[in-house]
Amino acid sequence: MVHYWLNYLNQLIKQTNMNATFSSIWNGGFEVATDCDIDVTTRKILYIESSDENSDDDGDELEFLDEQFVTVGDLKLKALNFDDFQNLWIDQECECTEDSEFLKQLIAECDDFEEMFTIIGEWSNKPVIQRVTDFLERNEACYFED
């Protein structure tokens, strides 16, 4: 019986973690695409394959990052690093209380996702995972740690 449940749990894990494509657009249009793994339930990018690309087709160094996104099947999601996530959260989610300026300050002072999610959890009336997932769905986004 235990073996059955372990197999079942492994199948569930495999269904939420999917292979996808992580793309970064540089210098006004040069795309670098690599494989990545994403947890489609939490929208967290778990792994990004590194790339040796360091110049575009014209030989120019890749120095201006325009955008990053993940493609899962037909779904294209903005890929947010910590700074982008933090700024978007402050812009969209911190007007919910009388103490919104204090909340903005707390979020702005965070150095990583763990610290930020702890504060979100303390201020939210929803579980933090649900709150973050709802936010990401509204913004057609996912996130990754640098």
* pTM assigned to the model: 0.84
Residue type at position 94? C
State the residue range of the domain holding 31.
2-80
10/63 same-domain check: yes
Q: Looking at 58, 80, 102, which one is the last position of a domain?
A: 80
Tell me if 145 is assigned to some domain: no
CB 76 within 8 Å of CB 140: yes
Residue 116: is it exposed, middle or buried by C-beta count within 10 angstroms (0-12/13-18/19+)?
buried
The model's pLDDT over 79-111, given as tens digits with 9 standing for 90+, comes to: 999 999 999 999 998 876 667 888 899 999 999
